[in-house]
């Protein structure tokens, strides 16, 4: 079992608020959890140093920016020992937004966003399948994202 970092109920409350709205000012968080903004700042620094909080992200809608295709790609490697080298090459492809080392049929599962099917075909043929060590791929196009939510740290969390 993975080591669970030492955090308490106040940390969980702070994280929960930020998971639902990462733009909340520390003063608003402090008011909500009945502490000072300085305490919130110190707690956030602690959680950053523990690796619990790892930066911040701006979420944008790919479709609103003209990227209408979301696809998942199962990647089969010729040999598992090629994983690190192949991942390094895959990381240089901007259309790939997630990479996962997996169990099961695939060695790697990738999430890709593209403008259209022509763009997807170009990414698959010219970039991904051209990488030495990739035996074959299997593509799944997402028709609709039904759920995307942050991790829930409610009362079920047992740190």
pLDDT in tens, 119-141: 999 999 999 999 999 999 999 99
Give per-residue pLDDT as tens, 108-124.
999 999 999 999 999 99
Q: What is the DSSP letter of 2?
A: P
Task: List beta partners, residue 71.
Answer: 112, 141
In terms of pTM, does the model score above 0.85?
no
Q: If we measure between CA atoms, which residue out of 72, 64, 57 comes closest to residue 105?
A: 72
Question: What are the tens digits of pLDDT across the range 68-107?
Answer: 999 999 999 999 899 999 999 999 999 999 999 999 999 9
**Residue whose tokens read 């608020």:** 17
CATH for 9-49 (3.50.50.60, 3.40.50.300, 3.40.50.170, 1.10.10.10): 1.10.10.10
| Mean pLDDT value across residues 5-31 | 91
**Token pair belonging to 34:** 């009945």
CB atoms within 10 A of CB 119: 17
> What are the residue ranges of CATH 3.30.70.920 in the chain?
63-142
| CATH class for the domain made up of 63-142 | alpha beta
* Residue 149: band (very low, low, confident or very high) from pLDDT cuts 50, 70, 90: confident
Domain with CATH 1.10.10.10 in the chain: 9-49
């Amino acid at each position: 079992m993975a080591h669970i970092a030492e955090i308490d109920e106040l940390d969980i409350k702070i994280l929960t608020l930020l998971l639902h709205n990462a733009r909340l000012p520390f003063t608003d968080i402090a008011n909500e959890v009945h502490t000072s903004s300085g305490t919130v700042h110190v707690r956030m620094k602690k959680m950053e140093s523990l690796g619990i909080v790892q930066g911040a992200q701006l979420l944008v809608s790919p479709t609103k920016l003209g990227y209408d295709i979301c696809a998942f790609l199962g990647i089969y490697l010729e040999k598992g020992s090629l994983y690190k080298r192949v991942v390094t090459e895959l990381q240089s492809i901007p259309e790939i937004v997630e990479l996962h080392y997996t169990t099961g049929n695939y060695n790697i599962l990738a999430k890709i966003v593209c403008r259209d099917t022509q763009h997807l075909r170009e990414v698959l043929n010219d970039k991904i399948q051209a990488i030495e060590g990739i035996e074959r791929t299997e593509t799944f196009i997402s028709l609709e994202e039904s759920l995307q939510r942050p991790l829930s740290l409610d009362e079920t969390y047992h740190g």
